[in-house]
Amino acid sequence: LLSGCASLEQKAQDFVQDLSQDVNEGFFKTISNNQRIPADFVRHVDGDTTVLRIDRKEQKVRFLLVDTPETVNPKTKVQPFGLEASKRTKELLSTASEITFEYDSGDKTDRYGRVLGYIFVDGTLLQKTLVSEGLARVAYVKEPNTKYLLELEEAQEKAKNESLGIWSIPGYVTERGYK
């Protein structure tokens, strides 16, 4: 009898997972790559994650190709420039006249179920603003989600040369994150 319950529970979990996948695939099929779609700011999470309403659905969005210092990870203390990055992201999104969202041609979600994409605030790539101001590093580069990689790397090189933000602390920025 107990093995029957476990089997039933597994079937229920499988059903929910399949249903969730069907819903997400249906959502993603309505939006093509390289198409900027209108989005509304719902709530702030941190420097590189936010919640947007896209196509009438609230989505937790992780910004492609960038990483900002941590502010909300319970396993990590607040890192230098994390609060500044978080505040800047919130400021840009909450005061924007227009927010648009764009998928790249690769994965649409990450392992946490967050939607992956590019955010444009009043026509300007939000990721580029953060990198240009020294509040984010170029990171999590996974082909083929690299449409704006060159643009971001150029902005990063300029911020690095000017020792802006995260680049003002020698050795702070590493390939794996922040020290």
Cis peptide before 144 (omega within 30 of 0): yes
User: In angstroms, rounded to a whole number, what is the distance separating the alpha carbons of residues 139 and 136?
Assistant: 9
Task: Tell me if residue 70 is catalytic.
Answer: yes
Which position among 84, 102, 114, 137 bears the catalytic label? 114
The C-alpha torsion from 17 through 20 and 24 to 27, rounded to 10°, is 160
Whether the CB-CB separation of 51 and 61 falls below 8 Å is answered with: yes
Q: Does residue 102 have an active-site annotation?
A: no
43's CB contacts (< 8 A; 6+ apart) are 50, 51
* Residue 128 to residue 157: CA distance in whole angstroms: 12
Instruction: Please state, in angstroms and rounded to a whole number, the distance separating the CA atoms of residues 119 and 106.
Output: 16
The answer to whether residues 138 and 146 touch, using CB atoms and an 8 Å cutoff, is no
User: One of 70, 84, 88, 102 is an active-site residue; which one?
Assistant: 70
The pair of structure tokens assigned to 137 is 């590093």
Per the residue annotation, which of 62, 88, 102, 137 is the catalytic one? Answer: 62
Q: Which residues are catalytic?
A: 62, 70, 114
